[in-house]
Homo-oligomer: A and B are copies of this chain.
């Protein structure tokens, strides 16, 4: 799909068809995440791909009520990082790459907050992530029921300032 078509199409999708996502597509998404820019070239990220319904339901319990829909997702990609100075910048760039790659594949996805959330430690324990790793984000994924609509209240012109604020 054309790049700008993907940028204009990506939207937060929280309702999914009851249909699995091929492992090959999930690998493609993680590969896109791993191609994000990274401060000082450290590439501090790790991606846990979840397709087991039981684990998705356990995740849903941890991130409820806001993220409860992940219990009905076809898959999740959970983004962790070593605790570097710029782990959140690196991890969020990787998260956005994955969300865009999902849209490019026709998938719907939604970013569930990780860092600063009280459940961050419990998510790491559930997925057996080594202590000291930071939870960046949880991405729910699935085939959308209907075409998602990108909701924006501020246009590009609204947020652009030439030469100074």
Which residues in A have some Cβ–Cβ distance to B below 8 Å?
A: 1-8, 10, 12, 27-28, 30-37, 39, 41, 43, 45-52, 55, 80, 85-86, 88-89, 92-93, 95-97, 99-101, 104, 111, 113, 115-116, 127-130, 137, 150-165
Contact B161 A3 (CB under 8 A): no
With beta carbons under 8 angstroms apart, the residue of B85, B130, B150 that contacts A35 is B150
Known: A31-B156, A96-B97. 9 other contacts (CB 8 A): A1-B3, A7-B35, A7-B100, A28-B156, A34-B156, A34-B158, A46-B165, A47-B161, A48-B164
| A/B interface sample: 5 pairs, CB < 8 A | A3-B100, A10-B37, A33-B156, A48-B161, A88-B92
- Copies of this subunit: 2
Whether the Cβ atoms of B48 and A165 lie closer than 8 Å is: yes
By a CB distance below 8 angstroms, the chain B residues around A97 are 7, 96, 100
Q: Given A37-B96, A52-B163, A101-B4, verify A152-B47 contact (CB < 8 Å).
A: no
Given A34-B154, A163-B51, are A116 and B8 neighbors across the interface (CB < 8 Å)?
no
Contact A99 B41 (CB under 8 A): no
